[in-house]
Amino acid sequence: MAKITFIKQNGEQIQIDAPLGLSVLEIAHQNNIDLEGACEGSLACSTCHVIVGEDWYDVLSPATEDEEDMLDLAFGLTHTSRLGCQIIMTDELDGLVVKLPAATRNMMVES
C-alpha cells in the first residue's frame, strides 16, 4: 500500500492509502475525491486531469501520444499535467502528490 496526497482546489490536502495497481482516478473515486473521469478511464476525455507535483512528474512513466492528445483539451493545462486514469500506483509512487485543477472541461456532455 502506498500513499497519495490530493490537493483540492481550496488548498486542502488529503492523504489517502493508495492500493498498488489502481489508477489515481480509481483511488479518487473510492475516496470521494472530486475527480470526474467522465469516460470512466477509457482515455476518451480530459476530465480526470491532475497536476502532478514537480518532484513526482519525472518519476511517472511518460505520457502516451493518446494521453497527450487528450491533455490538449484539458482546462488549466500545466507542464506537469497528466490524466489521473493513466497514472497507476506503484511502490515508486509512494507519497505522490497531485493537485486538482480549478475546473474541468467535459467534451463528452451532449448539448
In the chain, the number of structural domains is 1
Q: Is 104 among the domain residues?
A: no
Q: Is 0.85 topped by the overall pTM? A: yes
Q: Is 26 among the domain residues?
A: yes
Express each pLDDT in 80-103 by its tens digit. Answer: 999 999 999 999 999 999 999 987
User: Does the pLDDT at position 53 exceed 60?
Assistant: yes
Q: Is 105 among the domain residues?
A: no
Tell me what the mean pLDDT of segment 42-71 comes to. Answer: 96
Q: Is 43 among the domain residues?
A: yes
User: Does the pLDDT at position 22 exceed 60?
Assistant: yes
Q: Is 15 among the domain residues?
A: yes
Q: Is 31 among the domain residues?
A: yes
| CATH code for the domain in which residue 53 is found | 3.10.20.30
Q: Is 11 among the domain residues?
A: yes
Q: What is the pLDDT of residue 102?
A: 84
| Per-residue CA distances from 90 to 53, 60, 62, 95 (Å) | 16, 10, 15, 10
Over the chain, what is the mean pLDDT? Answer: 92
Range of the domain at 69: 2-99
